[in-house]
Amino acid sequence: MPENGKMKILAAFVGVVLMIISFASPGWVIIKADGNSYDYFVREHKVKVYLSAGLWYFSLCFNSTNLRPYIGPVESNGCYVGNYIQSPNRVVEETFLKLTKDWLLEMRIWSSVGICSAALGFIGTIVAIRYMMRSKCAGMVAFVSFSVSVGSFVAAMAKTLIATNYNKGTIMMIYYIPCMIYFQCPWSLVVGAIGSLFVVISAIGHLCHISAAGA
């Protein structure tokens, strides 16, 4: 197997694996919020919320500290993990899940197309290398599949970044309080971007070979 063939397979393999990790992980949207709230008994609470959401499940943690401990409990906290179908917390189920339904469907479609195309491109790469790049058709399939994969997956990630402000509003609607919102690095998108870069490298390799073969 030629050295450039090994590099194409390695780049494709690393890229597809990283894209799958990004696809299945919960770090697409990471938000931390701090705020104060008041209940019917004029108790003041300091509330901290941490949301880490992906395409298939999310985790939501909160910490509520009573600033007037002589009235009620000093502190309460908890974490919930939901799969967008049901949640152990009724408030989360009635607000967060409904409000993100349309966004999730679109992102799942785009990213699923990206993952399937990446897998097809990887198979095409193996076939092309197996026949010492004599199969121009396999190389073309790999290039087109990788191009569709990167385009779809990057579109999903870009739309997610644009929709981050929407998720910010969702947290405020869950707790009905004004709060300071802090956006943290969406590590799943970083992993997906790195994976897409490796896939692009493999696709460029196929394009160069196809161009050279057609010359």
Sign of CA dihedral 7, 8, 9, 14: positive
At residue 97, does pLDDT exceed 70? no
Q: What is the mean pLDDT of the chain?
A: 77
Q: pLDDT band at residue 161, thresholds of 50, 70 and 90?
A: confident
Could you please report the per-residue DSSP string of 43-90?
A: -EEEEEEEEEE-SS-EEEEEEEEES-TTTS-SEEEEEEEE-SS--SSH
Q: Residue 81: name the closest of 100, 56, 102, 60 by CA.
A: 60
The rounded percent of the chain whose pLDDT value lies above 90 is 28
- Structure pTM? 0.79
Task: Say whether pLDDT at 88 is over 80.
Answer: no
Q: What sign has the CA pseudo-torsion 87, 88, 90, 96?
A: negative
How many domains does the structure of the chain reveal? 1
Residue 119: partners with Cβ closer than 8 Å, 6 or more residues away: 16
Which of 10-24, 124-138, 164-178 is the least confident region?
164-178
Q: The domain that contains 27 carries what CATH number? A: 1.20.140
Mean pLDDT of 40-46: 57
C-alpha dist (Å) from residue 7 to 12, 87, 198? 8, 44, 10
Q: Which two tokens stand for residue 96?
A: 């967060």
Q: pLDDT at residue 16 above 90?
A: yes
Higher-scoring residue by pLDDT: 82, 73: 82
What's CA 148's distance to the chain center, in Å? 18
Among 46-55, 92-101, 133-142, the least confident range: 92-101
Mean pLDDT of 24-44: 71
Domain of residue 163 covers 3-214
Classify 41 as helix, strand or coil: coil
